[in-house]
């Protein structure tokens, strides 16, 4: 079983999971220090043997641009919207065989809209097609839920693989609520893989 290592910023903010090899490289190069290690499990690099790091902390603070941290992916977008079309309200399980969930831009890109969390919603392919490149008021289609940026989605993919020790750092930094939200999110999308795949022919206007 390959386990990742939780990398913290110098500020102790959890950043991401990194593969063990990369974590070791950062430590050996002096770019990170080991915060938590599994004492009973050793790893060997070219020259040294050390306890396997579970949590490392970067020695220098790195600024993570928001666009890298909060990227909208369909996986997280659909999860945020509870796998439900934000126009007709149908959940993914009620879609017909040739329909799919898609990403809709509330203000279409062609009309000056952005790809930010606050401008994208989950839409079934028929609703997305019907809305086309029109503004909500032009066609009378308004999202059921006002789109907002979810918290710390960049970490949600990693939650499932966190060890107890690693989860403690997430909890310490963000609090229990966020950890539970992330776990719930992860739990959800683990159960719905087929319906949330990207629809190749669907418009994303």
Considering only 127, 153, 155, 159, the residue that binds Zn ion (CB under 5 A) is 127
Question: Would you say 26 or 141 has its CB closer to Zn ion?
Answer: 141
Name the one range near Zn ion by CB under 5 A: 19-27, 120-128, 139-147, 191-199: 120-128
Contact between 88 and Zn ion per CB under 5 A: yes
Q: How far is the CB of 115 from Zn ion (least distance, A)?
A: 20
Stretch that binds Zn ion, among 4-12, 15-23, 41-49, 80-88 (CB under 5 A): 80-88
Cβ distance to Zn ion smaller for residue 52 or 103: 103
User: Any contact of residue 124 with Zn ion (CB under 5 A)?
Assistant: yes
Burial class (CB in 10 A: 0-12, 13-18, 19+), 101: buried
Q: Which is nearer to Zn ion, 9 or 129 (CB)?
A: 129
87 binds Zn ion (CB under 5 A): yes
The residue range among 34-42, 81-89, 104-112, 188-196 that interacts with Zn ion, by the rule CB under 5 A, is 81-89
Place of tokens 């903010």: 13
Nearest-5° angle of CA 152, CA 204, CA 133?
120
How far apart are CB 101 and Zn ion at their closest, in Å? Answer: 9
Q: Using the rule CB under 5 A, is 203 a contact of Zn ion? A: no
Are the C-beta atoms of 60 and 31 separated by less than 8 Å?
yes
For helices 164-174 and 176-191, give the axis angle rounded to 10 degrees. 120
Task: Work out the widest C-alpha separation in the chain, in whole angstroms.
Answer: 67
Q: Among candidates 79, 94, 136, 143, which has minimal Cα distance to 111?
A: 136
| Cβ atoms of residues 183 and 159 within 8 Å | yes
121 interacts with Zn ion by CB under 5 A: no
CB 110 within 8 A of CB 116: no
User: Which residues sit at the interface with Zn ion, rule CB under 5 A?
Assistant: 85, 87-88, 124, 127
């Amino acid at each position: 079983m390959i386990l990742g290592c939780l990398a913290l910023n110098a500020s102790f903010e959890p950043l991401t999971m990194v593969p063990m090899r990369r974590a070791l490289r950062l430590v050996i190069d002096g770019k990170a220090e080991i915060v938590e290690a599994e004492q009973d499990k050793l790893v060997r690099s070219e020259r040294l043997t050390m306890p396997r790091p579970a949590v490392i902390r970067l020695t220098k603070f790195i600024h993570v641009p928001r666009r890298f941290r909060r990227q909208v992916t369909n996986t997280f977008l659909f999860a945020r919207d509870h796998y439900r079309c934000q126009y007709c309200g149908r959940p993914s399980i009620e879609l017909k065989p040739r329909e799919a969930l898609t990403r809709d831009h509330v203000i279409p890109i062609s009309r000056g809209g952005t790809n930010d969390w606050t401008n994208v919603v989950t839409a079934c392919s028929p609703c997305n097609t019907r809305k086309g490149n029109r503004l909500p008021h032009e066609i009378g289609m308004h999202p059921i839920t006002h789109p907002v940026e979810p918290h710390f989605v960049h970490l949600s993919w990693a939650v499932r693989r966190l060890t107890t020790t690693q989860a403690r750092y997430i909890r310490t930094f963000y609090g229990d609520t966020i950890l539970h939200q992330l776990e719930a999110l992860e739990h959800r999308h683990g159960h719905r893989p087929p319906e949330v795949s990207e629809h190749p022919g669907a418009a994303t206007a």
